[in-house]
Each structure stands twice: as C-alpha cells, then as structure tokens.
Structure 1
Amino acid sequence: MLSAVSRPIRDSCAPVLDRCFRLVPCLADPARRSSLGLKAALVTLHLVFVGVIFLFYSELIEKTKHEPWYITFYLLLFVATLVQYFITSGSSPGYVLDAMRHANERNALFQKISTTSKQPASSKNGNMVITMEGSRSGRSFSGSNATSWTKLVLDLYPPGTSIRSLTCSYCNVEQPPRAKHCHDCDRCVLQFDHHCVWLGTCVGLGNHCRFWWFICEETALCLWTGVLYVAYLKANIALAWWKDVIMIMLLIILAIFLIFLLLLLLFHSYLILTNQTTYELVRRRRIPYLRGIPERVYPFSDGVCRNLYKLCCVKASVYNLERLPTAQEIEEKSRPYTCLDFLTCRCCC
C-alpha cells in the first residue's frame, strides 16, 4: 500500500527533479550531492556557533564599540577559515594523469626545440633531460611521448623494477613512488595522504599545505569561539536558564571539536616535518617500497627546513616526484644522532 501511495508522489516530483538536474548538472551525481550537502552542513555549523554568541551575548556588542579591533579580527578569522575551506576543497591533490600529461608535454616541447635549434649534433637527437626532486643529476630519455612517462617513473625506482608491478589496475598508468589510487575519486593521487569526506576530495601533493592551513585556522577559530562562550557563561549564568542550557550544550560540542582539531593539527604537523603521509604511516608494513626500512627512519625526509620548503614554497604546478632512496642513503638516515649532528643541525637540513 505504501508503494502504491508513494508512486504518484515520485511521478509528480520527477519533472521537478529533472529540471533541477538540467539547471545544476552536478546535482545529478549522488557523490557530488553528498559532497555539497556536507559542505552546506559545515558552513551551517559555523554560522550557528558564531551567530548564537552574537545573538545572546549583548555585552560583546558593547565591547565592540570600545574595542572594535577585537571583533574585527574575530570576523576576519571566521571569513578566512571559510575561504580557506573552499580553496582547499576546490584544489587538486595532484593526480598522476595530470603529471603524466605535464611530463609528456614537456618532452614534446623539448623535442620540438631541439630539432629546430642550431645546436651541436649531440643535442639534436630528440632527448629530454628531466631533473626530478631527490636526483643528483638529470637523466636523458629518448623516444616518443608514449614512453617518456614510463621511463621517468622507472628512473625513480631501483634498477630491475618491473613495469607490471607499478601499473595501476584501475587507471592503467604507471604509478611513481608514494602515489596511490583513491577509490572515492577513482584516480591515482601523487603523494596520497587520505580522502577527506568533508572536503570532498583527496589530500595529496598539491593541497597538503592548504589542508594544514585550513586545520590551523579552524583550530584557532574554534578556540576563540570557546573563549567567548566561557566569557558569556561567567557573566550571564543563571540569568536565563534556557540560554544557559543552549550555550553549555554548544560549548560541550565545541570542546569535542577542539580536541579533535588539535590532535589532527599536531598529527599533520608531525607528518609535514618528517615528510610522511597518513597512508604511509598507517600502512607502512604493507607498502612494498617501505618494507625492510626501520620504523624510526623517514626515507623521504630531507630535514625539517627542506621538508617545509618543499611543501610550502614550491609551486603547486611543479610536480616534484621523489625517487626511492638508495640503501646507502637509508643507512645514513638510520645512523644514530651524535652531539656533533645536533650542532651541525643534521635534523633540520
């Protein structure tokens, strides 16, 4: 009976839904609808927590007249947090297919320049020299665009590595080190960290820095809002019981969010300083290129300063593919620290 009653309702709503899907095509995809719903819920939570304190805390409005900078900075932080959230959610984590297309385009460009320029005969053979992050010298590749990416990826692995073991069975493309296929995005991501449901995208090489800044701003906003809630309760407790109940409930929820954000901020700060990813840390024993490396050794770390520089200062459009360290480099990284190492800042540079 219920199905018989609901069928006319579905039939009457179908034209309206079809019209909405035509006007906003992204709503036709269930995954994108879910992502948009989560984003709307996150923005609503921000508006509720900030709006309630301005609605109930009348003394805050009076304080604004005497100290306008206080509320101005708070509102600027609120706007900056939301802007950073949308920037991060709309940024690319760095897809393997985009890096492959970028490498092939550069290879074609170098081939075109080398064949038209008047250089010695040794530079007219169509070779391309690509210097990758972590390599001490460039390596010359010859051949067509179809094989340039394969040779580039193989150069990042130890000699004798098979292409078949590197090829993603879903994207049918060779994965460089630290890349992983995301089943939510259905793409291979460079330096894959995790897939964030709230952002609706992966966190990887291209947006890890933006993700860290979003967490930092979100933590500061949550902490500042909690301070305002506590100030209201200290000044207005027992004046209106229903307001106190609402504020206490929101403060408890805010405290839970703050604890989670602080732990997340500390965790990702540790990952950035050691040049690791969440996937590599959690699945270290299952990742082939990390097997056999001691737990306390960070194979891709170049020191705190260089790790920060590579993450924050290198342009996002440049794909810095890191090669696997050699056995000699692993042995050097696993060497215990001495007093001289601390004096020479071995851990930083």
Structure 2
Amino acid sequence: MMIATICRPVRSPWEEPMDRCFRFFPCLADPGRRSSLCLKLCLVTIHLIYAGVLFLFDGDLIERTKKEPWYTALYLLLFVVTLIQYFATSLSSPGYVLEAMLTVNERSAANRKAPETSKNGSYVISTEGNLIARNGSGSYSSSWSKLVADLYPFSIRTWTCTYCNMEQPPRAKHCHDCDKCVLQFDHHCVWLGNCIGQGNHCKFWWYLFEETALCLWTGVLYISYLKAHITRVWWQDAIMIILLITLLVCLVFLLLLLLFHSYLILTNQTTFELVRRRRIHYLRGIPERVHPFSRGVRRNLYNFCCTRSTIYGVEPLPTPEEIEEKSRPYTCLDAVTCRCC
C-alpha cells in the first residue's frame, strides 16, 4: 500500500481545476477549439484596447462627444457591428458537403415528384429541404452519387475524398482543420476558427469591409490626437504611436485582403482555385485568364450577395464549348454589349 502511494504520479495543482473546467465547458478540452477560443478572445481584447486607450487619453474626443454625440455613437455602432459580424461569421456554416448530401438523400427518399428547374444549369440544394433542381430535362436525382456524377459529364469518374470517402462535387475540398469537405472551399481562417466556403463567404466579405472601415476610422482618431497632443505627455504619445503603427500595418493587410476577395467575387473564383489552379484536376488545361465558373459580373454579384445561406448551389463542370467561348478575346462589340457583365 505504501509502495503504491509512493509510486502514484504527482498531480499538478492546476490539473484538478482544469478537469472541473473541462467538465463544465467540454469545448475547452479540445486543443483545436481551445486555441480558436484564445484567438477570438485575443482579437476582442485588441479591439477593446484600441478603443479604450483612445477614450482614456483623448479628452478632446470626450468634449466632442458632449457636443456631437452622433459622431461617437456612429463609431461605437460600427465597433459593435464589426464584433457581431465577426462572431456571426465564425459561428456560421461554410456549407459542408455532408449537409448537402444528407439533404439530397433525405429529400429524394421522401418525395419522388419532379422539382422545379433552375435557370443556370446548376443544381440548387436547400438545407431547409425546399427544392433540388436542374435545368433542361428536369431529371430528378434520387441520391447524392447520381447528382455528383451528373456534375462531371466529361469525366470518366467522379472525385472522391480520400479522407472522409465522400463524393465531392466540383469546387469542393476537404479541410484538414475542420476534417470535413466544404462546398466552394476558399480557405480556413485561423482568426475565425472556421472555414470560408459557399455558405459564409458573403459574411466574411462584409466582416472584412467593416473591419477595414473601423481600422480606418480609428486611425484617423489616433492621428487627430497626436496632432493636437504630440508634445504634452511623452509616455502617452509613445503608446499612441506604437498602437498607430500596428494599426496601419493591419489596415494595409485588411485593405489588400478586401480587394483580393472582391476580385474573387467578381470573377466567381476561390482562393484555393486561384492559388492551386494547376493542381486542381478540373482546371488543368484551361488558360489562366479564363474563369470557367464566371457568369458575368452582374450574375456573380447577384449569386454571391442575394443567395440565402441555407441554399447551396453545386455547379457542373463547364463544357468545352463554354470554355472556348470564354477564351475568345474581347472585341469592341463585346464592350458595347457588356459581354463581361
């Protein structure tokens, strides 16, 4: 008994409180989710530090708030909306292939009547179980395998994920961080702790836009303070200058990221397709200046902004005729007829 007591491993004083914490908050037991929560807490803390230091040091801003409360109210409104948009994007579903597959199989088993047809030749899958549609013959796919097979009309086989063994539609990819296949996979955002895909790409763009606007407005307030109080209290000026330099670096990064994703939206591309174009089997042999899934700027914007997050669209591979048409150089007549739109 004494030997067993002596040989028993010594528990750290932190282990028992951590076990209790994991018991009440199971999500903290997962190292990946714990790291994501820490990053989210860090980002919120950074936002609070920038706003808190500004209101703590800048007495002129307080006086302006008393005279023009709408100015500070708008700034605080943008601050709160940005954080809400951040968490809304972080908690939203990127559109997992598993969700689409279960919807298709359940819907096909429950209802065998022919659905409505879409206008662009692609299947439309509603996670609310509303409709599954295809243009042309109005043929009905009773299973996910049949639907995916129809999306590869010029391929001798469909593409199956080697990790989760699921049949992937075009533009889908397996995310190793989430361990799931994502429709129109763009990238996995570490700061959000979530994938960016077809289901939340629009939310992600709006978050970038709001974050960029907030950083720009905060930078203007910091510069205004330094112009008026640059020689008063040196340690306050040093803190403000360090925070301002960091803020400007973040602003440049956010602005470039916002412009980059705006370009992807206008051309109906994803970050993964742009970066790994030569490695993606359905993009090999297509000229780099050709965007095979683009339907024009107006249609791309409409599909991106006006499609509900509960409805996912899976697009078939473009035909050789469509690729040839999109490869044709633009002429003056195309500019008049707005071919790019």
Instruction: Give the alignment's TM-score, normalised by structure 2.
Output: 0.91
2:243 is aligned with 1:250: yes
Aligned to 1:260: 253
Structure 1 residue 134, shift from structure 2 partner: 3.2
Aligned partner letter, 2:197: G
SS of residue in 2 equivalent to 1:244: helix
CA contact (8 A) 1:93 1:190 kept: yes
Aligned to 2:325: 332
2:149 to 136, 141, 154: 154
CA 1:130–1:152 in 2, change beyond 3 Å: closer, same or farther?
farther
SS of residue in 1 equivalent to 2:86: helix
SS of residue in 2 equivalent to 1:202: strand
Aligned to 2:217: 224
CA 1:130–1:167 in 2, change beyond 3 Å: closer, same or farther?
farther
Aligned to 1:134: 121
Aligned partner letter, 2:233: A
Structure 1 residue 341, shift from structure 2 partner: 1.2
CA contact (8 A) 1:133 1:320 kept: no
How far apart in 2 are the matches of 1:130 and 1:181? 29
SS of residue in 2 equivalent to 1:181: strand
Aligned to 1:28: 29
1:272 to 251, 265, 270: 265
CA contact (8 A) 2:65 2:72 kept: yes
How far apart in 1 are the matches of 2:31 and 2:137? 45
2:167 is aligned with 1:174: yes
SS of residue in 2 equivalent to 1:233: helix
2:74 is aligned with 1:73: yes
CA contact (8 A) 1:133 1:321 kept: no
The aligned runs of 1:293-304 (5 Å cut-off) are: 293-304=286-297
Structure 1 residue 138, shift from structure 2 partner: 4.5
2:178 is aligned with 1:190: no
CA contact (8 A) 2:95 2:183 kept: yes
Instruction: Give the alignment's TM-score, normalised by structure 1.
Output: 0.89
CA contact (8 A) 2:268 2:293 kept: yes
How far apart in 2 are the matches of 1:338 and 1:206? 36
Structure 1 residue 310, shift from structure 2 partner: 0.6
Aligned partner letter, 2:145: T
Q: Deviations over 1:24-50 (max 9, x none)?
A: 110010001000000000000000011
Aligned partner letter, 1:65: K
2:58 is aligned with 1:57: yes
How far apart in 2 are the matches of 1:231 and 1:328? 58
Q: Which runs of 5+ in 2 are unaligned?
A: 1-8, 123-134
Structure 1 residue 161, shift from structure 2 partner: 2.4
Q: Which runs of 5+ in 1 are unaligned?
A: 1-6, 115-126
How far apart in 2 are the matches of 1:304 and 1:129? 26
Q: Deviations over 1:256-300 (max 9, x none)?
A: 000000000000000000000000000001100000100100000
How far apart in 2 are the matches of 1:185 and 1:133? 31
SS of residue in 1 equivalent to 2:82: helix
CA contact (8 A) 2:153 2:317 kept: yes
